A and B are shown apart, each in its own frame.
Chain A
Amino acid sequence: MSTDTATQPVGRYAYDEVDRTFLSQRVAQFREQVGRRVAGDLSEDEFKPLRLMNGLYLQLHAYMLRVAVPYGMMGADQMRELAHIARTYDRDYGHFTTRQNIQFNWIRLEDTPDILERLAGVNMHAIQTSGNCIRNVTCDEFAGAAADELLDPRIHAEILRQWSTLHPEFSFLPRKFKIAISGSPHDRVAARFHDIGLVAHPGPNGRPVFDVFVGGGLGRTPIIGVHLCHDLPEEDLLAYLEAVVRVYNAYGRRDNMYKARIKILVQALGVEQFREKVDAEFAQMNRADYRLEPAIVEGIRARFGIPDLDAPADAAQKLDSDRKADARFDRWVRTNTHAHRHEGFISAVVSIKPDGGIPGDVTADQMDLIADLADEFSFGEIRVTHMQNVVLGHVRKDRLRDLWLRLDGAGLGTPNIGLVGDIIACPGLDYCALANARSIPIAQKLSARFANPELQENIGTLRINISGCINACGHHHAGHIGILGVDKRGEEFFQLTLGGSAENDVAIGQIIGPALPEDETVDAIARLIDTYLVLRNEGEAFIDTYRRLGAASFKDAVYAPA
């Protein structure tokens, strides 16, 4: 086993021959399953969960393949392969999702085994990106780089990825199961909107301990997760998660799919009774079998490449002078970067939300460019964020302007991270078989209307989330302004929610009133923002003004006669 972390891929787990054998076996298995489906030996009903557990949906226009980007981390070589797949098997583009994955919209079933084989060639897969199983574990997009981080959560995210892969007991749960993990006191993973949210920090003996939240989620019943366990020791992490998921598998509802998520079980039992069941299961388990020894963790950690962070002493000074010399660059640095733990480095956020564009869509050429820039500027490491953007985690401060010039030249330099234009939107009715209304056109109109960067910066932090149906893939309940598409007799309407947040100040947005027709929605939101600009105190963000004044102050603006 190699422990040479300098030659291994930075920020993610290095596959070995055993892992590659597993992936190729999984591809062969799916090829055989497709064969049985086409031959008629499997019905669509039977085949569906098998293809879903390989990331393949049947959407509105075609099959959609969701490729896993474990904890949002990938390498330049992997991004180039995704570009190749976009060109060869799709229509020259892909779409980054809020679970840090990427999906292709125009896939053919008959090509899918070949696509999965190509992915396996770069140690990628689509395993458990759908289905009633444990999904891709999400993570802080600034993991291993952020100045405020207490420990790097990616090692444990990888351990959870491996543990949950083809888990024999938990592949046919009542419903899907989502886990997020953070190692920072600042919640960037929406830990309390997950089936299980883990917040890690160093424990007394130097090993990590975990705060465990359970039963959060959005969807048609938005619920903030409850605190289930305080300072869970690392060695018990897998045993405890086994106990939680086992209680869910045994007792979660299967009679009504809308009440099948763990959040409903936790609410029905109450947190005390739920905890009793978990504790009883945990107490009975043969914990030695599940113990996560430090040696196991360190074995996985040794397969993560570590960036050689070496910057000239004047790197920060150089960045300061670059910023003073170029106001546009300065603005982009203000909005699109994040503080790094090393004083000579910075994390750069590449906005995949161009003004008037489709949030999260990236062309094959852009994928290739991002791959090249990652190689040149950030140790070949690329991160996909739950906001549907891309992060280059470790950029030398003295080279940041060079990076920005290249991004800006390719239309990837939009300075809007965390602002009005940084809209989270699900694919909506333009692609999705479940959607009731289109999400993308609303996002496009809003971001075009607020394209002016001065205006956006003046408005300040504002999270707009759009979902095309109640399943809430656009996390509308967690948006400062949430937009939910509803179907009224085959027509599109949009319901607005205000005051949601997925961060430390977690809250569920509240419906402000009746749904609006499509052609009135963007104007109503513009009036809402105008009202905020009038009502706000000096330096007050939209969410804080809303919390200070309440919905009543905004309702008139939304329903003002056109």
Chain B
Amino acid sequence: MGARAWTAHPFTAVEAVTGPLPEGISSEVDVRNNRRDMTGASVITANRLLDGRIVWLAPQGWSEVISQARVFDNAAVEDAIKQAKVAADAGTVVGIYGVQLDPEATKITPLTVRERIRAFGPTVHPDFAPVETPHVH
């Protein structure tokens, strides 16, 4: 992940107040997956059903690397999420949601530590960072 120091960011949307939900008890969505600014930009993410790998909604289909992701203005991202959830290939992924981007980053970079770890791999294993592959699934 990037070397830039992480500074507190005032979210204006809903925030995580109760913490994460353990799997297997509730179909509710993790509240952290819904927090976005009113302004700024987001990308859309999910996990692929068959192998669980993190994917990002690209101009065509889903990509394994965030650099390929299509960037949405936050004013448009809710509609885009709704569309992705009913698209023909929606059944090939699990848990579609939007991810706020860091407005100060030069590359496509999520704002939160959690989403940066999803985008760039576990910080304790730089060798497992997602790699660019020529094909988009």
Contact = CB atoms under 8 A, between A and B. Distances in A.
Is any CB of A less than 8 Å from a CB of B in the complex?
yes
Interface of A: 37-38, 40, 44-45, 48-49, 52, 57-63, 91, 106-110, 130-132, 175, 220, 257-258, 260, 358, 429-431, 433-438, 440-441, 444, 469-471, 487-492
B24 A109 contact: no
Contacts of B11: 489-490
Nearest to B114: A429
A176 to B, nearest CB: 8
Contact of A429 (B6, B16, B53, B113): B113
B52 A52 contact: no
B52 A108 contact: yes
- Main secondary structure, interface of B, reads loop
A489 B8 contact: yes
Contact of A488 (B8, B19, B32, B95): B8
B122 A61 contact: yes
B40 to A, nearest CB: 13
A111 to B, nearest CB: 8
Q: How large is the interface on B (under 10, 10 to 19, 20 to 34, 35 or more residues)?
A: 35 or more
15 contacts: A37-B49, A58-B95, A60-B117, A60-B118, A61-B52, A61-B128, A63-B51, A107-B52, A110-B50, A130-B23, A430-B125, A433-B20, A435-B20, A487-B16, A491-B6
A132 B19 contact: no
A320 B10 CA distance: 63
B123 to A, nearest CB: 6
Interface string B84-103: 00000001001100000000
B3 interface: no
A232 to B, nearest CB: 30
A91 B10 CA distance: 38
Given A45-B27, A61-B121, A434 B21 contact: yes
Contacts of A110: 50-51
B124 A444 contact: yes
B57 interface: no
A59 B22 CA distance: 11
Contacts of B22: 257, 434, 471
Nearest to B30: A433
Max count, chain A CB within 10 A of own CB: residue among B30, B32, B51: B51
B47 interface: yes
B10 A469 contact: no
Contacts of A435: 20, 114
A224 B132 CA distance: 50
A425 to B, nearest CB: 11
Given A358-B124, A435-B114, 6 more contacts: A44-B49, A58-B95, A132-B25, A434-B22, A436-B16, A491-B6
